[in-house]
Amino acid sequence: MEVLKDISLTPNALKVLEKRYLKKNEEGKVVESPEELFRRVARSIASADLNYGKSTEEVEAVEEGFYQMLTSLEFLPNSPTLMNAGRRLGQLSACFVLPVEDSMESIFDAVKNTAIIHKSGGGTGFSFSRLRPNGDIVGSTKGISSGPVSFMTVFDTATEAVKQGGTRRGANMGILRVDHPDILSFITCKDDNSKFNNFNISVALTDEFMRAAEEDKSYDLINPRTKKITDSLKAKEVFNLIVEHAWKNGEPGIVFIDRVDASNPTPQIGHIESTNPCGEQPLLPYESCNLGSINLAKVVKGNEVDWDKLRDITWKTVHFLDNVIDVNKYPLPVIGEMTRGNRKIGLGVMGWADMLIQLGVPYNSDTAIKLAENVMEFIQREGKNASAAIAEERGVFPNYKVSIYEGKMKLRNATITTIAPTGTLSIIAACSSGIEPLFAISYVRTVMEGTKLIEVTPYFERVAKERGFWSRELMEKIADKGSIKEFNEIPEDVKAVFITAHDIAPTEHITMQAAFQKFVDNAVSKTVNFPHNAAPKNVEDVYLLAYKLGCKGVTVYRDGSREEQVLTKGRKGKKQQASDSRQKIVPKKRPEVIKGTTRLMKTGCGNLYVTINEDENGHLFELFTSMGKAGGCAASQSEAIGRLVSLAFRTNVEPDEIIKQLKGISCHSPAWYDGGRILSCSDAIANALEKYNVKGEKGNGDRHKVVLLMGACPECGGAIEHEGGCAVCYNCGFTKCG
């Protein structure tokens, strides 16, 4: 598909749209252009105006305004709205919070509802703080409770099953209060990288806990079932444990829960106990929210912010997002009821780093902090003015009389602003992500057949040519480094403006987050990046500064902290190894005698015989396939899979991880076998391995020897970048959070 003349889309934006957003027919062929997508969305969202007495001509004018705003990439709504508006599914919200009460019925109702929401393209957040702790009595059976962490496994497994067929992967936020008796096991629950991969986890820190940590005092643990004190812990020791684990692998994050609930606009409706998966949207149980982001790169005129244009876009976007609430097809009736009761919207920004670059302002400067406050205060003020104008015409949100606004400002929406991670949206808009700095000035993008292209930030390319230091060789060198601070041929004033995430001190990241938070109703999603050699004390300092400056939560990521992370900058495919002993992995040699079994699996391509052998120690060692009477491509591909699986076995990869990679892959010719659906030959191999593995409980002896690219994109193998409280691949557009 060629770049459209009237919509300025980059090749990468087109690739992302084709893969994730544009309509496809039953054969998987794209049957919608980007122009048609934006028209579909604009028409669907504008149609809500018909509910409020507008004429057809007036609605068409609103549609045209929305269409121009979308096609100019001045604003984009959250991914479910782009995917589903004007289509049969019609679920348009990104963020949901579900309650998990202390009963088996509530837990499994939540699991069921989670699956429904994930299938529709949403992400879910939960507080597990109401569940009785591990070892507590179960009254109905006189048995023993397994506790919140155990039940989180059920949610994680359900998410894994549902996401196989989705266009947008399900994501969860799990939150536990710091005063829950199981808090220590929750903090450490992701020590094993193979567990809870569909969860972000955060500890809900109370003001009481923060005071106790500051004063080096103990605090009480409270059983949520009995409301009685069960034990006490040294707050500083628990705080240090959180810091240590966040330093080690980025989790858990922290949420200052009392501060979050204090800004709850409808406290009489309920308390806020959880957020959406990336932490920026606190919600009541059964509440949802739809988000959207203004592209700040589009509101610069000369050397100044175009305030008039920003005002116009803000008013249009509030109208747009309020309409979404009416057009939305909610996955559960109770969610529709709660959402329409408060009519929360979350208007945020992207392209912040691009705006600063155009204005010649360094990201880590006092000028940038002041500008952040001015820009967000302006959007907050104009957003509320727009909401008030809509309320004049359509009425305030139904729960207004029990809100903090009652008798003050009459608003259509209980909340207006949120800073969300923009993930694939910033790829479509070809701008910087959220309020993050640039991640790299120049980087490598892998295209079809492994061709590697050097991508350069357009603003830097223009400046380099204007200032006379442009060369292809320099861009390749910068791609190796990611940053330009070590290049003497680049002027110092250019280095100051084109600063990247790892050139910025962690405390400067937090200062920027706090500047935006001052004028945001909900919360701010941002990643605080640390260099690999950062110490735990650096993480502690950031947490304390965030609390002091009024942030509602913090997400940190230390470069290379995830096991086997592929570096996110550099052309040479370097890996940050967890230890020197793992620099080179040599497959085990085949012994003279080996034993195993052969299993028949029926596939759409014919009978597939899968032979699985184990070594003398009972560890899985090799896998062979035979395609019956069939041959050709299916047989050769199955043989190739068998060889690669054998190689994985011989380098101590756990079978569960191999199953996870192969299971659910589909082809054009599925088949039914043994009461289940076999989607492809690779799915059949996974099923055979699963049956063998479960029957014999076979493993390879050491889960910590799993050799996986934890920082690699699961779809294309490219580098994952951690920003905006999320993980995103700028090579293919994969993201955990949309």
Give, in order, the Cα–Cα distances in Å from 364 to each of 501, 504, 509, 620: 10, 7, 8, 52
Choosing from 278, 713, 732, 737, the catalytic residue is 278
Give, in order, the Cα–Cα distances in Å from 688 to each of 205, 235, 599, 635, 680: 45, 49, 7, 16, 12
Are 427 and 16 spatial neighbours (Cβ–Cβ below 8 Å)? yes
70, amino acid identity: L
Distance CA 325, CA 340 (A): 7
Distance CA 687, CA 707 (A): 22
Choosing from 63, 251, 280, 287, the catalytic residue is 280
- Give φ, ψ of 593 to 5 degrees: -115, 135
Distance CA 722, CA 269 (A): 35
R_g of the chain, CA atoms, integer Å: 26
**Both structure tokens of 123:** 């992400």
Are 407 and 716 spatial neighbours (Cβ–Cβ below 8 Å)? no
Determine how many CB atoms are found less than 10 A away from the CB of residue 256: 23
How many residues can be counted in the chain?
738
From 289, 261, 288, 286, select the one nearest 273 (Cα to Cα): 261
From 189, 272, 279, 160, select the one nearest 737 (Cα to Cα): 279
Determine how many CB atoms are found less than 10 A away from the CB of residue 85: 23
Give, in order, the Cα–Cα distances in Å from 609 to each of 174, 624, 626: 41, 8, 5
Are 734 and 715 spatial neighbours (Cβ–Cβ below 8 Å)? yes
Distance CA 607, CA 297 (A): 56
From 520, 611, 29, 543, select the one nearest 291 (Cα to Cα): 520
| 511-515 contact pairs (CB < 8 A, 24+) | 511/369, 511/545, 511/549, 512/363, 512/368, 512/369, 512/372, 512/435, 513/435, 513/546, 513/551, 513/554, 514/546, 514/549, 514/550, 514/551, 515/369, 515/370, 515/372, 515/373, 515/376
Give, in order, the Cα–Cα distances in Å from 602 to each of 148, 681, 692: 40, 9, 16
Known active-site residue 25: no
Give 42: exposed, middle or buried? Use CB within 10 Å, 0-12, 13-18, 19+. Answer: buried
Known active-site residue 189: no
Are 354 and 432 spatial neighbours (Cβ–Cβ below 8 Å)? yes
In the block, residue with structure tokens 């490219």: 718
In the block, residue with structure tokens 């299993």: 599
Half-sphere exposure of 175 (CA within 13 A, CB side): 28
Distance CA 112, CA 641 (A): 34
Known active-site residue 716: no
Whether omega for the bond prior to residue 282 falls within 30 degrees of 0, making it cis, is no
* Number of helices and strands in the chain (H, E): 23, 27
Q: Which residues of 204-240 are buried (b: 16+ CB within 10 A; e: fewer)?
A: bbbeebbebbeeeeebebbbbbeeeeeeebebeebbe
> For residue 393, what is the enclosing H or E element?
helix 366-394
Choosing from 78, 276, 522, 687, the catalytic residue is 276
Active site positions, annotated? 276, 278, 280
